Amino acid sequence: MAYEELQRMVDESERIVFFGGAGVSTESGIPDFRSANGIYNQDLGRTVSPEEMISHTFYMRHPEDFFEFYKDKLIYENAEPNDCHKALAELEKQGKVKAIVTQNIDGLHQMAGNKKVYELHGSVLRNYCMKCHQFYDLDYIMDEYHCKGNVPICPVCGGIIKPDVVLYEEMLDEDCINKAVSAISKADTLIIGGTSLVVYPAAGFVRYFRGNHLVLINKQETPYDSHADLVIHDSIGKVMDMD
């Protein structure tokens, strides 16, 4: 029933925006980093939590430990788009999906073929030198010959290369937020998937939606379930695969 209802909503929509959270990527085998164990830091003399490890302060003070955790727990070079990514790419091709807004940093939507993707938390595929701002791809920073220990070094100026990912304590990119909000405010259907909607700024974005159909797809309940026109508690890949 719910699947047919979703299909009907998609059929009659012309400006769909999809807002996705970590659940979209877990189905491609990328676990939520928050579920990882922290690592022991020599200087601090204690185990550091995943959230603290990918904070700006920790990155600046302990780049070696940061990159050890980052490369081990946030990078999945062999991950591939799942049925959710593929369905959204097809819907963009058909002109129905106007934008993807994602909290994920893995670039899988673009790999699936989507063009309009607003990456609120940046992308592991982009990296830049903090000194001279030269850009490097993921392969470059993963290659140990370009690193001192685990820390990737710019061959042009010797600066540290930083992932273009928004760390804790860092601001989200304003231009990206504005474009995401603009797309959501013009959408006739907003499909929110794979997020419990409790992480900033996801919850706030829902308020900008003025369209007809608000759809929530998440394995667990969310605080917004009662506001939605359609709620499906199931796997996002299974639900979005509409063939």
Q: Which residues are near Zn ion by CB under 5 A?
A: 129, 131-132, 134, 154, 156-157, 159
Residue number, 97 or 141, with CB nearest to Zn ion? 141
Q: Report the nearest approach of Zn ion to the CB of residue 162 (Å).
A: 11
Q: Report the nearest approach of Zn ion to the CB of residue 215 (Å).
A: 44
| CA 143/CA 118 separation, integer angstroms | 28
Backbone angles phi, psi at 110, to 5 degrees: -65, -35
Burial of 229 (0-12, 13-18, 19+ CB in 10 A): middle
Beta bridge partners of 193: 20, 217
| CA 87/CA 139 separation, integer angstroms | 28
Residue number, 88 or 141, with CB nearest to Zn ion? 141
Q: Report the nearest approach of Zn ion to the CB of residue 129 (Å).
A: 3
Judge contact between 127 and 121, C-beta under 8 A: no
From the candidates 62, 121, 133, 146, which is the catalytic residue? Answer: 121
Task: Give catalytic status of residue 121 as yes or no.
Answer: yes
| CA 149/CA 3 separation, integer angstroms | 50
Residue number, 40 or 135, with CB nearest to Zn ion? 135
Q: Report the nearest approach of Zn ion to the CB of residue 151 (Å).
A: 13
Judge contact between 242 and 7, C-beta under 8 A: yes
Residue number, 127 or 218, with CB nearest to Zn ion? 127
Active site residues: 121
